[in-house]
Amino acid sequence: MKKLLIFVFLLSFVRSYGQTPQINLIPQPVLLKQNEGSYQLTNETTVGFNNPLCGNVAAMLAGKLNTSTGFAIQSMQGKPGSIEFDLNKVAVEKLGKEGYTLVSTSKGVTITANDPAGLFYGMQTLLQLLPKEIESRSTVNMSWVVPAVEITDYPRFGWRGIMLDVSRNFFTKEEVKKYIDEISRYKFNTLHWHLTDDNGWRIEIKSLPKLTEVGAWRVPRYGQFGQRAEPKQGEAATVGGFYTQADIKEVIKYAAERNVTIVPEVDVPGHSMAAIAAYPEISCTKDPNTKVNPGSNFSEWYGNGKFKMLTDNTLNPSDDKVYDFLDKVFTEVAALFPNQYIHVGGDECYKGFWEKDPGCQALMKKMNMKQPEELQAYFMKRVEGILKAKGKKLIGWDEILEGGIAPEATVMSWRGIKGGIEAAKLGHYVVMTPTTFAYIDYQQGEQTIEPLLYAGLRMSKCYSYEPIPEGVDAKYILGGQGNLWTEQISSFTHAEYMTWPRGWALSEVFWSPKESKNWDNFVQKVEKNFDRADIEGINHAVAIYDAIIAVNKKDGKSIITLSSEVPGLDIYYTVDGSMPSTYSQKYVNSFELPEGPVTLRVVTYRSGKTIGHLITLRPEDLKKR
């Protein structure tokens, strides 16, 4: 019996400590087979490659490994390395341009692909296979082990994007490059760069110097965006910034090395107050007192997309000089950005000033237009002609469908999925980016804790998204995109906080097969990536640990239902004003809130330790729900 107990103990030890480690890859590969064994990096490890086109990714990996391991790993062409990057001599069709295979054994790691882009993504997967300390910016003395795996991987969609708004708040060139590093790690391949809006013009246009001399700067203001004081007469505009054309070229090159295409956006004909502040003559009102908006309220919103602008922020579609202006802008933009698309906005364009303008009314009569939306369609078709002459394609928000879409335009569907469905059925390509799933500037957790905003979007909602609507030919859906508008985001660390972990959810939506989705598994992977982000110094939210509180009325009583995004958390609450803990009431089922001015406090625990934020809902908060 004693010998049997010793044997059982040893068997248990082997199973517990000798088992194959769990692999946590985001996004989930198409095929993943985990084998017995592992490869260990040492100072003798080398990085080899079979083609000069592989040199960039090989050098990038060696540099990354050396930073955290303290080794002196070299990359070299021709001689097989312990870690080998190889371009296929005969393309493997299913891998496409961005797919790869990764095989690791006790002898080393081999990554193959048809194109350097695939090798880059294979490298990102390899880094995630290594211990989290690989993200350290200083040497860590530890065992660097890669589990033995066989991976075949390729993306579901060709457009996997994140939009970064730098107009509302300016981010430096170095911060943009850091953001590119972060999104490329999770296999996003498109940065939609929102460069112009009412609050700042961020790109140097040499033929129109006032765009940055005037349009890039606003008066200093603090507080909630939309509630700030308007500029005062004679007040100095000192807040802002812009990218020189040299900066733009540097960022484009940096992005290209990481397989990220940058799509610039110049938002017209609405959202143009910064441009109008610089050149008032391009608007209908031609008001010389127009200022770059510092976050003050200049509109009234009535719901259902209806609104009124109190200040003219719209270009004049009836003035030929406006198209001369845009030709100068797009000539320089097209020369800078090598990709095929230029985003021209087209969203939230107020038509009220057009309806009062004699020139616009004369154009409508001449063109037999019945609705002002047709003026925007006319404008967009002329802009498309300008872009086409420069070898570029027009892409815009789904409002460009109104009044008749430009013949070859691509649509970004943001007001839900309706615009995307309509565009696809008309034979136009679509990028799906609806507010309901992809607006990562929205609150991501409990609304009384998260920074104030008018809508919420939890990570689980992002993860549940299916970009191809029913009844739509999938060939017209290029892919999807998360959007980070920055009205309420004044620092880069806050931008990171809003992007992650919801960006991880979207990366899996856009890359991985939809059949591989598994929420419980994904949450485990997210938690592992929290650790990696902490080591590298990337800010992120942990709102997924917070309780979700729903209040419903039944027979005049308030019924409280508590839940959480992360499975298996314990939820404790109080209704007597005390602070909740493991000694408080543990949530099991929905319960009736006592009558009276009750304050509800809720907190989540895991394994006896607090993991979520304390949430306090006072009587007025509960009443709102």
Predicted confidence (pLDDT) per residue in 430-441, tens digit: 999 999 999 999
Instruction: Output the DSSP codes for 252-312.
Output: HHHHHTTT-EEEEEEEESSS-HHHHHH-GGGBSS--TT-----SB--EEEEETTEEEESS-
* 315 belongs to a structural domain: no
Q: In terms of domains, do 145 and 252 share one? A: no
Residue 43 has pLDDT above 70, yes or no: yes
Does position 269 have pLDDT exceeding 90, yes or no? yes
Is residue 609 helix, strand or coil? strand
Return the sign of the alpha-carbon dihedral for residues 262, 267, 272, 275: positive
Share of the chain above pLDDT 70, in %: 97
238 and 186, same domain (yes or no): yes
Find, among 284, 274, 264, the residue nearest to 330 by Cα.
264
Number of structural domains the chain divides into: 3
CA angle 506, 510, 514 (to 5 degrees): 100
If asked whether residues 343 and 395 sit together in one domain, one would say yes
Is there a contact between 374 and 402 (Cβ–Cβ < 8 Å)?
Answer: no
Task: Tell whether 468 is covered by a domain.
Answer: yes
Report H helices in 337-466: 352-356, 358-366, 373-389, 418-425, 435-438, 459-463
Q: Using one digit for the tens of pLDDT, what is the confidence trace for 89-133? A: 999 999 999 999 999 999 999 999 999 999 999 999 999 999 999
User: Does residue 447 fall inside a structural domain?
Assistant: yes
Clarify whether 271 is annotated catalytic.
yes
Report CA 368 to chain centroid distance, whole Å: 42
How many Cβ atoms from other residues are within 10 Å of residue 43's Cβ? 10
Catalytic member of 115, 165, 332, 348? 348
pLDDT surpasses 90 at 259: yes
145 and 242 share a domain? no
Q: Which of 153, 179, 207 is the last residue in one of the domains?
A: 153
Identify the pLDDT of residue 476: 98
Residue 498 domain-assigned (yes or no) = yes
pLDDT 10s digits, 442-478: 999 999 999 888 899 999 999 999 999 999 999 999 9
Least Cα distance to 465 among 427, 502, 419, 520 occurs for: 502
Quick one: how far is CA 407 from the chain centroid? Answer: 29
User: Region 249-261: what's the mean pLDDT?
Assistant: 98
In a domain? residue 227: yes
CATH number for the domain that contains residue 563: 2.60.40
Give yes or no: residues 326 and 415 share one domain.
Answer: yes
Q: Which residues are within 8 A (CB) of 300 and not within 5 positions of it... i.e. 6 or more apart?
A: 307, 308, 310
pLDDT of residue 304: 80
Q: Are residues 142 and 262 in the same domain?
A: no
Using the predicted structure, report yes or no on whether residue 7 has a pLDDT greater than 90: no
Is residue 182 included in any domain, yes or no?
A: yes
- Annotated active-site residue 348? The verdict is yes
Q: 167 and 259: one domain? A: yes
Assigned domain for 310 exists: no
For the cut 90, the answer to whether the pLDDT of residue 38 exceeds it is yes
| Residue 526 counted as domain residue | yes
E strands, 427-502, are: 430-432, 477-484
The Cα 80–Cα 98 span in angstroms is: 23
| Residue 611 structural domain | 546-624
* Co-location of 52 and 147 in the same domain: yes
Pair 83, 193 in one domain: no
Residue 143: Cβ within 10 Å count: 9
Confidence class of residue 255 from pLDDT cuts 50, 70 and 90? very high
Q: Which of 197, 265, 441, 446 is catalytic?
A: 197
Taken in order 331, 332, 338, 341, the sign of the CA dihedral is negative
pLDDT exceeds 60 at position 192:
yes
Do 616 and 489 fall within a single domain? no
Q: What is the CATH number of the domain that holds 510?
A: 3.20.20.80
Residue 4's pLDDT is 45
Residue (of 524, 506, 513) closest to 459 by Cα position: 506
Catalytic residue list contains 540: no
pTM above the 0.75 mark?
Answer: yes
Are 175 and 135 part of one and the same domain?
Answer: no
Same domain, 212 and 327: yes
Give the number of other Cβ atoms within 10 Å of residue 229's Cβ.
Answer: 13
Active-site residue, from 271, 343, 428, 613: 271
pLDDT tens for each residue of 8-33? 344 433 333 344 568 999 999 999 99
| 228 CB-near residues (< 8 Å, 6+ apart) | 221, 222, 294, 295, 296
Sign of the dihedral through C-alpha 469, 475, 477, 480: positive
**pLDDT tens digit string along 136-169?**
999 999 999 999 999 999 999 999 999 999 999 9
